[in-house]
Structure 1
Amino acid sequence: MSPVSLLAPIGLVALLALPAILLLYFLKVRRPEARVSTLMFWRPFVADRQANAPWQRLRASLLLALQLLAALALALALVRPGVSGAIGIGGTTVVMIDGSASMQATDVGPSRFEAAIARAHEKAHQLGPGQEMAVVLIGQHAQLLAPPSSDPAVLDAALDRARPTGSEVDLGEAFSLANAVVAGRSGASIVLLGDGHARAPASPPRVGARLFYEPVGVTGENSGIETITRTGSP
Structure 2
Amino acid sequence: MNLLSGAFDWLADPAQWTGPNALHVLLWQQLFYTLVPVAVAAAIAVPLGWAIGHTGRGRDAAVAVAGAARALPSFGLLVLLVLVFGVLHKPEAAVVTFVILAIPSLLAGAYAGFEAIDRRVVDAARAMGMTEWQILWRVEVPLGLPLLVGGLRSSVLQVVATVTIAAYVNLGGLGLPIITGLSLRRYEAVLGGAILVAVLALVLDALLALAQRAVEQRGVRAGRGEIVTARPETDSATATHPG
Q: TM-score scaled to structure 2, two decimals?
A: 0.26
More helix by share: 2
Q: TM-score scaled to structure 1, two decimals?
A: 0.27
More strand by share: 1
Greater Rg by CA: 1
